[in-house]
Amino acid sequence: MAKRKDTPEKPKITREKLRSAIRIFRFIRPYRWSFFFGLVLLAAGSVLFMVFPGAATEMAKTARGVSEVPLTLPQWGLFFLILLIIQGLFSFFRVILFAKVSEKGMADVRQALYDKIITQSVPFFENRRVGELTSRITADVEQLQQAFSITLAEFLRQIVVLIVGVAILAYMTPRLALIMLLTFPVIVVLAMVFGRMVQRISRKRQDMLAESNIVVEETLQNHNTVKAFTNELLESNRYNKTIQDVVKISLKYARIRGVFFIFIITVLFGGIFFILWQGAMMVEAGTMDVEDLFSFILYTGIIGSAIAGLGSLYTSLAGAVGATERIQEILESETETSLSNAPLDKADILKGNIEYKNVSFSYPSRKDLPVLNNISFNINAGQKVALVGSSGAGKSTIVQLLLKFYDVDQGAIIVDGKDISSIDLYKLRKNIAIVPQEVILFGGTIRENIRYGKPNATEAEIIEAAKQSNSWEFIESFPDGLETIVGDRGIKLSGGQRQRIAIARAILRNPAILLLDEATSSLDAESEKVVQEALNHLMKNRTSIIIAHRLATIREVDCIYVLEHGKIVEQGTHENLSAIEDGAYSNLAKLQFETQAG
Q: pLDDT per residue over 44-98, tens digit each?
A: 888 888 887 777 777 877 887 777 778 788 888 888 888 889 988 988 998 888 8
Domain membership flag for residue 133: yes
Better-predicted residue by pLDDT, 228 or 331: 331
- What's the structural domain count of the chain? 1
Domain membership flag for residue 572: no
Better-predicted residue by pLDDT, 342 or 33: 33
Q: Are 504 and 465 in contact (CB under 8 A)?
A: yes
pLDDT for 154 = 78
Q: pLDDT per residue over 476-517, tens digit each?
A: 888 888 888 887 777 888 877 888 888 888 888 888 898 888
Better-predicted residue by pLDDT, 169 or 192: 169
Radius of gyration (Cα) for the chain, nearest Å? 35
DSSP 7: -
What residues contact residue 266 under an 8 Å CB cut-off, 6+ apart?
none
Q: pLDDT per residue over 209-223, tens digit each?
A: 777 877 787 787 777
Better-predicted residue by pLDDT, 130 or 446: 446
Domain membership flag for residue 110: yes
Q: Are 131 and 215 in contact (CB under 8 A)?
A: yes
CATH number of domain containing 57: 1.20.1560.10
Lowest mean pLDDT among 335-339, 467-471, 497-501: 335-339
Mean of pLDDT values over 371-396: 88
Domain membership flag for residue 494: no
Helix axes 290-331, 232-285, angle to 10 degrees: 150
Degrees (nearest 5) of the Cα angle 128, 403, 329? Answer: 30
Domain membership flag for residue 357: no
Q: Name beta bridge partners: 516.
A: 435, 546
CA dist 316 and 422 (Å) reads: 48
Tell me how many helices (H) and strands (E) the chain has.
22, 10
pLDDT-derived band of residue 358, with 50, 70 and 90 as boundaries? very high
Query: By C-alpha distance, which of 444, 462, 464, 445 is closest to 453?
Result: 462
Query: By C-alpha distance, which of 335, 298, 331 is closest to 51?
Result: 298
Biggest distance spanned by C-alpha atoms of the chain: 121
pLDDT for 524 = 62
| 248 CB neighbour count, 10 Å cutoff | 13
Query: By C-alpha distance, which of 572, 573, 494, 502 is closest to 538?
Result: 502
Query: By C-alpha distance, which of 360, 359, 394 is closest to 561?
Result: 394
Better-predicted residue by pLDDT, 294 or 545: 545
Q: Are 374 and 411 in contact (CB under 8 A)?
A: yes
Query: By C-alpha distance, which of 97, 101, 99 is closest to 26?
Result: 101
Residue 460 has pLDDT above 80, yes or no: yes
Mean of pLDDT values over 148-161: 78
| 97 CB neighbour count, 10 Å cutoff | 22
Sign of the C-alpha dihedral, residues 120, 125, 131, 132?
negative
Residue 597 has pLDDT above 50, yes or no: no
Provide, rounded to the nearest whole percent, the portion of the chain with pLDDT above 70: 85
What dihedral do alpha carbons 398, 400, 406, 412 form, nearest 10°? 40
pLDDT for 356 = 92
One-letter amino acid of 474: F
Lowest mean pLDDT among 137-141, 407-411, 439-443, 526-530: 526-530
Query: By C-alpha distance, which of 422, 421, 418 is closest to 404?
Result: 421
CA dist 570 and 583 (Å) reads: 8
Query: By C-alpha distance, which of 5, 41, 11 is closest to 124?
Result: 5
How does the average pLDDT of the chain come out, rounded? 79
Domain membership flag for residue 418: no
pLDDT for 222 = 74
Domain membership flag for residue 579: no
Q: pLDDT per residue over 549-592, tens digit each?
A: 777 678 788 899 988 888 888 888 888 888 887 788 888 777 76
The residue range of the domain holding 98 is 15-331
Q: Are 556 and 535 in contact (CB under 8 A)?
A: no
pLDDT-derived band of residue 315, with 50, 70 and 90 as boundaries? low
Query: By C-alpha distance, which of 520, 515, 542, 518 is closest to 530?
Result: 520
DSSP 390: S
One-letter amino acid of 344: L
Query: By C-alpha distance, which of 407, 389, 353, 294 is closest to 58?
Result: 294
- Choose from 77-86, 180-189, 336-345 the range with maximum mean pLDDT: 77-86
Residue 8 has pLDDT above 50, yes or no: no
Domain membership flag for residue 213: yes
Q: Are 441 and 498 in contact (CB under 8 A)?
A: yes
**pTM greater than 0.85:** no
What residues contact residue 129 under an 8 Å CB cut-off, 6+ apart?
2, 214, 217, 218
CA dist 357 and 376 (Å) reads: 5
CA dist 304 and 165 (Å) reads: 10
Which DSSP string do the residues of 292-340 spell out, in sequence order? HHHHHHHHHHHHHHHHHHHHHHHHHHHHHHHHHHHHHHHHTS--SS---
Lowest mean pLDDT among 121-130, 179-188, 220-229, 458-467: 179-188
Residue 352 has pLDDT above 50, yes or no: yes
